[in-house]
Amino acid sequence: MRTINAISVTRLIEEISLSLVSSPRWFRAVQIGLGALTIILSIFALAFPGFTFLSIVVLLSVILLFVGIEKIISGIFLENKSRWATIGLGVLVLIFAGLAMAFPLAAAFVLVIFMGISLLFNGIARIVEGMTGKHSGVSRVFLVGVGILALVISLLVLSFPLFGIVLAGTIIAIGLLITGIQMVFAGLSRAKVQNRTEMP
């Protein structure tokens, strides 16, 4: 059984190595280039987190706009019992998308308020679970601590919505930075593997 597992692991490592080697040079160059571009954008997002979050809100509004148009078209041309409900939903989505695109700052504040409320309930739920559940020791302390942290952040977000906008933008920027670094390292590792295999 152990011999079979060792063989399967060896084959898996060989397949991964072959896939790394077989990837063309242009793919690795594109991967490294896109990773570097992502890192640059993430640095810009870290410098201007509020603008980053507003950009995300505008992008989501555009997506909602297309979703609303699709719903209206589906309701008009597809014959079903809920066609008028589909058309109405599409019109409603179009109205919300238009309002969000016209007033992105107000839309961002609304999203941040919803985030704060969800964090508030999440923190309360974790504290209650830690105090009344079957957790004990470090697990209980950790659970209650996370709940208190969520409560503090939610109160800050609800009291200062601009703080919530900056916090959301910062989290998005950090995610972009980690993704960009991973893409660059993946491209460089592929290049190193191919260079080793091409050596006589």
Distance CA(172)–CA(51), nearest Å, equals: 11
- What is the per-residue pLDDT across 68-95, written as a single tens digit (0 to 9) for each? 888 888 878 777 777 788 888 888 988 9
The predicted-structure confidence for 102-146, as pLDDT tens digits, reads as follows 888 888 888 889 989 998 998 888 888 888 877 677 778 888 888
CA atoms within 13 Å, Cβ hemisphere of 183: 19
Q: Is residue 33 part of a domain?
A: yes
Instruction: Write out the residue range of the structural domain in which residue 154 sits.
Output: 26-189
Transcribe 16-28 into DSSP letters.
HHHHHHHS-HHHH
Query: Total domain count for the chain?
Result: 1
Determine, yes or no, domain membership for 103: yes
199 in a structural domain: no
181 occurs within a structural domain: yes
Residue 200, in any domain of the structure: no
Instruction: Tell whether 131 is covered by a domain.
Output: yes
pTM confidence score? 0.64
In a domain, 174, yes or no: yes
Please name the residue that has the structure tokens 């397949």: 15
Residue 197 is assigned to a structural domain of this protein: no
